[in-house]
Amino acid sequence: MMNNLKIKTIEEFLNEGISPEILFWVGCAGSFDDRAKKITKAFVKILNSANISFGVLGKDESCTGDPAKRAGNEFLFQMQAMTNIEVLNSFDIKTIVTTCPHCFNTLKNEYPDLGGNYKVYHHTQFINKLLEEGRFSIEGGSYKGKKITYHDPCFLGRANNEYNAPRNLIKKIDAELAELKRCKSKALCCGAGGAQMFKESEKGKTEINLERAEEIKKNTSKIVATGCPFCNTMLTDGAKSFEADKQVEVLDIAELIVRAKDL
């Protein structure tokens, strides 16, 4: 290992006869996308710092099938789902935490019908749980008093009604939460969902991520927080055209915590 992150696969745990507390479902973006890999590492730093025993699937992990399902390919989705469920059940997985709201939604809401019943957390929910249980703490840090804009990912917010977990963490780092005009249940999509991430958009007068970026620009905060690797990509791209003095940094909540605590 190149760095000092402590990572073990579920298989390694089982070979030692231990079952870890949680499975960290890394997701395709978290595994392969250069930007999202940083989010994965940030979350692992948090898990390590809180001494959470977690395993990853590594080469046994595969796409949940969400983009296929929302593109209309229910066959491929269910093939993926059933194969994943076989793997998860063979490792006797009970609790899954993921940094991707799309994986989160699919694992939580669409796998049970097909025989996959797990307790599924988005990482912002899990970090809140650790805070409540006193296993992790966030106090102040480098973002104290700074203005942070939060963008709700559709699949965490509207889809699963989770608006508070990420906001609570922004408050914990003592930052000032700057809400967008369209927020929570009225939040505007970043443009990536429903398999749009993987195709050119249809003809229109602008791109969805540019529309959202314009709204972000009006908020005049230098940092945009979100909880989804796809939103992260779309908003980063959308904000590229901002004037030099209006540049923003798009960060995942996990990255904010790592920086605030200097982990």
Partner 1 sequence: MLILITSLGFFIRNINRLRRNINIGNGQTEPITNKPERWRNMLRIALGQSKMVTRPIAGTLHLIVYLGFIIINIELIEILIDGIFGTHRIFSSAGVLYGFLIGSFEVFAVLVLISVIIFWIRRNIIRIKRFREVEMKGWPKLDADLILYFEILLMSLFLLMNATDVEFQNMNNGNIISSFIYPFFSDYSIDTLHVLERSFWWTHIVGILIFLNYLYYSKHLHIILAFPNTFYGSISKIGRLNNMKSVTNEVNIMMGKAVESENSNDVKFGASDVTDLSWLQLLNAYSCTECGRCTSVCPANITGKKLSPRKIMMDTRDRIEEVGKNIDKHGEFISDDKKLLGDYISREELWACTSCNACVEECPISIDPLSIIMDMRRNLVMEESSAPNELNNMMNNIENNGAPWPYNQQDRLNWNE
Contacts of partner 1 in 218-247 (CB under 8 A): none
Q: How far is the CB of 74 from partner 1 (least distance, A)?
A: 5
Footprint (CB under 8 A) of partner 1, residues 41-80:
41, 44, 56-59, 61-63, 65, 67-76, 78-80
Does 15 help bind partner 1 (rule: CB under 8 A)? no
Footprint (CB under 8 A) of partner 1, residues 162-201:
185-186, 188-189, 191-201
Q: How far is the CB of 142 from partner 1 (least distance, A)?
A: 25
Residue 13 backbone zone (phi > 0: left; psi -120 to 50: alpha; other: beta): alpha
CA-to-CA distance for 10 and 92, rounded, in angstroms?
Answer: 10
Footprint (CB under 8 A) of partner 1, residues 80-109:
80-82, 105, 108-109
Torsion angle, CA of 237/240/241/246, rounded to 10 degrees? Answer: 130
Radius of gyration over alpha carbons of the chain, in Å?
18
How far the first Cα of the chain sits from its last, in Å, is 18
Residues β-bridged to residue 56: 9
Number of residues that bind partner 1 (CB under 8 A): 75
Q: How far is the CB of 73 from partner 1 (least distance, A)?
A: 5
CA-to-CA distance for 144 and 119, rounded, in angstroms?
Answer: 33
Footprint (CB under 8 A) of partner 1, residues 126-145:
none
Nearer Cβ to partner 1 (40/236): 40
Footprint (CB under 8 A) of partner 1, residues 144-163:
154-155, 158-161
Identify whether the C-beta of residue 93 lies closer than 8 Å to the C-beta of residue 23.
yes
